[in-house]
Structures are given as structure tokens and as C-alpha cells.
């Protein structure tokens, strides 16, 4: 990782990989979710598989289409094509929670986001693909639903830092990108703060890691 070498290919899935996420607490720790119903945990430093989590069972033969770490790095969230979202303990490999009928079940990669400030808050794409499911991981059931936020399938979702002008004054703001080409900034309850058209289909959205106008502050 620190010097230029040949790429290393980690071939530990039996199905196509749909999502990859790095841990916010360990720079070398990352996970992947694939069309074999498994979430794998790796060390990028040692370039090896550390653990394999079986998210789905033989009686529920569905596949993983999104993975994310919580902001404290202790849990991995995995959305599946069975419209279920599983919460896995990173150290023990145990499934702590499972939320049914709260995630989009399409074959494509789906959107899933965790709050960078609060490790218990998460957002998944709703079952119909056009809305959002809000989750408090301390609760056994979804916290709330935002219906039909976009006219078409939401391809990606993430949390937006409070330094951005549209997000100021709000504890948590969400950025979504729809297949119809619309990008929206909303509050947790679905109130639209800002919206713009890209002119083409959106596959992914991601703000830069620094705060808004960071370069301007540096002169």
C-alpha cells in the first residue's frame, strides 16, 4: 500500500461483488458483499481474508447488494435482495439484528449509508427503490420511511456534512442520486433542501471528504 507494486487480486467470493466499504476506524480494514450471500472482511495491509460472514441461509437464498460500516467501525450493515438488512458484529462475526422488508431487492448494487456522527443511524433504499428507510440500530424495527423521494430508482445515498450550505442548521442531511438524473439533499424526514438535474442517469453520489470551502479557508 505504501509503494508501487503489482495489484493483488482477492478471489474469495463465489458470486459477483456488488459492494465494497472501508472501515472508518482502521485504514487497512475493508469488507465486500457479493452474489453468494456472504460478506468478507479483509486486511489491505496483509492482503488477506480475515473473516467471512454468512448473511443469508440456504432457506433464504438471496444475495448481498450493499455493505457499509457503522461510523464506530464495530458493525457491518448488509442489504440483501431478500429486502432484508442484516447487522453483523465485526469482531465476533455474529448477526446482531435483521430488519425485514426495509431494503431494495433488485439485482443491481443498492444504496446504503451510515451516519458519520451517530453510529446508530443508517439509511437504506426502500423496498420500492424510490424512497428511503431510516434505521436506528438500537431499535428492533425501522425508525421511519420516506416514500417516493425520486421518480425512478434511487441508485445511491450518503450523508452530507453540516458545513455544506444546504445542510446547515440540520443535524443530519442526506444526499441521494436517482436514475432519472436528479440529485437531492433532504432532511431525515424527507423534506427537500436542494435539488438539481445532472442531465443524465446517476449511478453514484459522494461528497469530497473535506468540509465545504475547505480550500478557500486555506487561502
**C-alpha distance from residue 53 to each of 9, 47, 90, 158 (Å):** 20, 18, 9, 24
CA end-to-end span of the chain, whole Å? 31
Give the span between the Cα atoms of 110 and 79, in whole angstroms. 8
Q: What is the DSSP string of 123-171?
A: EEE-TTSSSEEEEETTSSS--EEE---SSS-EEEEEEE-TTSTTTTT-S
Of 86, 68, 70, the closest CA to residue 25 belongs to 70
Would you say residue 105 has pLDDT above 50? Answer: yes
Give the residue with greater pLDDT, 17 vs 218: 17
Q: What is the DSSP string of 32-68?
A: EEETTSEEEEEETTTTEEEEEEE-S-GGG---EEEEE
The percent of residues in the chain predicted with pLDDT above 90, rounded, is 70
Q: For the segment 5-48, what is each residue's pLDDT rounded down to a tens digit?
A: 788 888 999 989 999 999 999 999 999 999 999 999 999 999 99
Phi, psi dihedrals of residue 214, rounded to the nearest 5°: -60, -45
Q: For the segment 170-217, what is each residue's pLDDT rounded down to a tens digit?
A: 778 999 999 999 999 999 888 899 999 999 999 999 888 777 776 655
Residue 105, number of CB atoms within 10 A of its CB: 19
Give the span between the Cα atoms of 17 and 132, in whole angstroms. 23
DSSP 3-state assignment of 217? helix
The pLDDT confidence band at residue 58, using thresholds 50, 70 and 90, is: low
DSSP 3-state assignment of 188? coil
Average pLDDT, integer, range 118-132: 96
Would you say residue 126 has pLDDT above 60? Answer: yes
Would you say residue 66 has pLDDT above 90? Answer: yes
Tell me whether residue 215 is exposed, middle or buried, using C-beta atoms within 10 angstroms of its C-beta: 0 to 12, 13 to 18, 19 or more: exposed
Average pLDDT, integer, range 85-101: 92
Q: If you average pLDDT over every residue of the chain, what do you get?
A: 89
Cell output for 48:
488477506
Would you say residue 219 has pLDDT above 50? Answer: no
Q: For the segment 140-183, what is each residue's pLDDT rounded down to a tens digit?
A: 999 999 999 999 999 999 999 878 787 777 778 999 999 999 99
What's the confidence (pLDDT) of residue 178? 94
Give the span between the Cα atoms of 96 and 133, in whole angstroms. 19
What's the confidence (pLDDT) of residue 168? 76
Cell output for 200:
443524465
Domains of the chain: 17-148 (2.130.10.10), 149-212 (no CATH)
Amino acid at each position: 500500500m505504501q509503494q508501487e507494486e503489482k495489484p493483488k487480486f482477492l478471489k474469495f467470493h463465489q458470486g459477483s461483488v456488488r459492494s465494497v466499504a472501508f472501515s472508518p476506524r482502521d485504514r487497512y480494514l475493508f469488507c465486500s458483499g457479493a452474489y453468494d450471500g456472504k460478506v468478507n472482511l479483509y486486511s489491505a495491509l496483509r492482503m488477506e481474508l480475515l473473516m467471512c460472514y454468512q448473511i443469508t441461509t440456504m432457506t433464504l437464498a438471496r444475495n448481498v447488494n450493499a455493505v457499509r460500516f457503522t461510523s464506530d467501525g464495530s458493525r457491518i450493515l448488509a442489504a440483501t435482495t431478500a429486502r432484508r438488512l442484516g447487522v453483523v458484529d465485526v469482531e465476533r462475526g455474529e448477526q446482531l439484528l435483521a430488519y425485514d422488508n426495509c431494503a431494495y431487492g433488485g439485482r443491481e448494487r443498492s444504496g446504503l449509508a451510515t451516519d458519520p456522527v451517530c453510529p446508530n443511524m443508517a439509511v437504506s433504499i426502500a423496498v420500492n427503490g424510490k424512497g428511503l428507510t431510516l434505521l436506528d440500530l438500537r431499535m428492533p424495527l425501522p425508525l421511519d420511511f420516506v416514500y417516493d423521494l425520486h421518480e425512478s430508482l434511487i441508485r445511491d445515498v450518503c450523508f452530507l456534512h453540516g458545513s455544506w450550505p444546504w445542510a446547515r442548521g440540520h443535524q443530519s442531511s442526506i444526499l441521494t442520486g436517482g436514475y432519472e438524473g436528479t440529485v437531492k439533499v433532504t432532511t431525515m424526514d424527507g423534506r427537500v433542501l436542494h435539488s438539481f438535474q445532472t442531465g443524465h442517469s446517476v449511478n453514484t453520489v459522494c461528497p469530497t471528504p473535506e468540509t465545504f470551502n475547505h480550500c478557500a479557508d486555506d487561502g
